[in-house]
DNA sequence: TAAGTTATCTACCGTTTGGTAGATAGCGCT
DNA sequence: AGCGCTATCTACCAAACGGTAGATAACTTA
């Protein structure tokens, strides 16, 4: 469609990274179902065919986007996880997530939109989200084990509140994400 | 596509209701972007053209689905709202919602999926959700006004937790939605 | 500079999509 | 029974979609 003014040729690694970054933004804005191959390509100044040279299908692109986010996310909290797992560490990790997400609204929106879409068992990312979330809860539960009488319930409480707060923050930017979380955590971890 | 075995002719009111119920189920399962006109029609044993006789466009159908849910929802809590607004009433209303939603998983999923899709300003239901949610929070805040020192923050806390809990319940049916909510509310409304 | 590799493009295909036009048939009324 | 209304259908369209095939051009290396 776009009559290419210039033909930029990039090494595969760079091009892949460029595509993944752009795709992340687009999916965050409109969901996976809401973005076409051509839109993904155009955002990098190339054509569908060019993009499909790097990702064999639209679906493969989605999975690459998710895996990239996982990698970046884990790397960012790696150092916080060093001490022995206990409730204080759990709070620190979660506060870290909050602070990080504050600065990356579009990434948060990507996850929110996609994880809702993926409630449909037929969605390409359905199993991805199921496994990822149950792993997350299990890890958190393990952190709360020695501190809370019902660690399972507490883990669900925390994740539910965080998910819901993110969602409402996306819907209404007027919410003070960080302050709201810290106030809640103060009460929660005081008991 | 479907070689109609019989031609059912219904009065418009009945047919509209049938279509809206079916559409609600389908959107809950796959989102609005995930369902085609033909799928909506086929679920009622008719063709696209037949459906478009009752709703002028796909988008108009979506809006009708949302408005119908609003109507049913408001009617179901109308009697709980009678007493003067205070914190106890707020909790009663919210508990009512939880109990009701427990029995209508697909409706909850409809709202969850749609409200995530509608984060995109270009989505046909974007403004609908923005206004609806801010109204809801304002109403809740008003209920908490005389009881909580920071009613605004408290309202956000409650809605965030409820939204997040619903979301996690949809993702993992193993969660005891009601018990989890009641335990949280006990703590929240004790302070 | 010449050859080889491959990232990118143009052009196309088959399918699906939302929507329209006009024919058909079920129902209420007299 | 016969007429009118309209809910529904069949047939169609233009646009958009994901993906493929083969041509082209930008780098690398000798």
pLDDT tens sequence across B31-58: 999 999 999 999 999 999 999 999 999 9
| B148 within some domain | yes
Same domain, yes or no: A78 and A137: yes
CATH number, residue A50: 1.10.10.60
The per-residue pLDDT for A5 is 62
In whole angstroms, give the CA distance from residue B91 to residue B94: 5
Same domain, yes or no: A71 and A148: yes
Same domain, yes or no: A108 and A33: no
Q: Determine contact, residues A139/B140, Cβ cutoff 8 Å.
A: no
* CB crowding A88-115: b at 16 or more within 10 Å, else e: eebbebbeebbeebeeeeebbbbbbbbb
| B60 within some domain | no
In whole angstroms, give the CA distance from residue B43 to residue B22: 6
At residue B129, does pLDDT exceed 50?
yes
Same domain, yes or no: A160 and A83: yes
| B61 within some domain | no
Same domain, yes or no: B20 and B50: yes
Q: How many CB atoms sit inside 10 A of residue A11's CB?
A: 7
- Average pLDDT over chain B, rounded to whole? 91
Same domain, yes or no: A45 and A80: no
B54 is near strand D: CB distance < 7 Å: yes
Same domain, yes or no: B50 and B75: no
Q: How many CB atoms sit inside 10 A of residue A63's CB?
A: 14
| A28 within some domain | yes
The per-residue pLDDT for B36 is 97
Q: List alpha helices for B103-150, DSSP H.
A: 105-117, 126-144
Same domain, yes or no: B79 and B34: no
The per-residue pLDDT for B86 is 84
The CA distance from A169 to the nearest CA of chain B, in Å, is 9
Same domain, yes or no: B91 and B4: no
Please answer yes or no on whether B134 and A165 come within 8 Å at the CB atom: no
The per-residue pLDDT for B83 is 67
| A61 within some domain | no
| B108 within some domain | yes
User: What's the token pair of residue A119?
Assistant: 């409630």
Same domain, yes or no: B116 and B170: yes
Q: Which of B55, B75, B94 is the last residue of a domain?
A: B55
Q: How many CB atoms sit inside 10 A of residue B7's CB?
A: 8
Å from the A35 CA to the C6 C1': 28
Å from the A56 CA to the C8 C1': 15
Contact positions of strand C to protein Cβ (< 7 A) = 6-11, 16-22, 25-27
- DSSP codes joined into one string, B160-187: HHHHHHHHHHHH-TTS-HHHHHHHHHHH
Q: Determine contact, residues B172/A121, Cβ cutoff 8 Å.
A: no
Q: How many CB atoms sit inside 10 A of residue A17's CB?
A: 12
| B150 within some domain | yes
* pLDDT band for position B160 (cuts 50, 70, 90): very high
Full pLDDT tens readout for chain A, 191 residues: 333 467 899 999 999 999 999 999 999 999 999 999 999 999 999 999 999 999 999 999 999 999 998 888 878 777 776 667 788 989 998 999 999 999 988 888 988 999 999 999 999 999 999 998 899 999 999 999 999 999 999 999 999 999 999 999 999 989 999 999 999 999 999 97
pLDDT in tens, B108-122: 899 899 999 999 998
Residues 6+ apart with CB under 8 A from A179: none
Which residue, among B94, B84, B39, has the nearest Cα to B61 in the 3D structure? B39
Q: Determine contact, residues A164/B160, Cβ cutoff 8 Å.
A: yes
Which of B97, B116, B174 has the most A C-beta neighbours within 10 Å, making it the best mutation to test the interface with A?
B116
Predicted TM-score (pTM) of the model is: 0.88
- Of residues B145 and B76, the one with the higher pLDDT is B145
Domain count of the fold of chain A: 2
Contacts within 8 Å (CB) and 24+ apart, A12-15: A12/A54, A15/A44, A15/A54
| B169 within some domain | yes
- DSSP codes joined into one string, A112-127: HHHHHHTTSTTSTTHH
In whole angstroms, give the CA distance from residue A13 to residue A19: 10
The per-residue pLDDT for A84 is 72
Host domain of residue A169: 67-188
Same domain, yes or no: A72 and A47: no
Same domain, yes or no: A45 and A99: no
Please answer yes or no on whether A33 and B31 come within 8 Å at the CB atom: yes
């Amino acid at each position: 469609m776009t009559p290419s003014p210039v033909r930029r040729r990039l090494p595969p690694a760079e091009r892949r990274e460029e595509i993944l970054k752009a795709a992340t933004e687009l999916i965050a804005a409109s969901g996976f179902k809401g973005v076409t191959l051509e839109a993904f390509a155009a955002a990098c100044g190339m054509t569908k065919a060019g993009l499909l040279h790097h990702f064999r299908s639209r679906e493969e692109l989605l999975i690459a986007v998710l895996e990239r986010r996982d990698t970046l996310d884990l790397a960012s909290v790696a150092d916080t996880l060093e001490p022995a797992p206990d409730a204080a560490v759990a709070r620190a990790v979660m506060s870290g997530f909050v602070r990080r997400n504050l600065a990356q609204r579009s990434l948060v929106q990507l996850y929110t939109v996609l994880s809702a879409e993926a409630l449909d068992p037929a969605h390409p990312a359905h199993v991805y989200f199921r496994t990822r979330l149950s792993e997350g809860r299990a890890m958190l539960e393990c952190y709360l084990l020695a501190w809370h009488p019902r660690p399972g319930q507490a883990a669900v409480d925390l994740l539910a509140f965080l998910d819901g707060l993110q969602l409402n923050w996306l819907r209404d930017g007027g919410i003070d994400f960080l302050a709201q979380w810290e106030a809640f955590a103060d009460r929660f971890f005081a008991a």
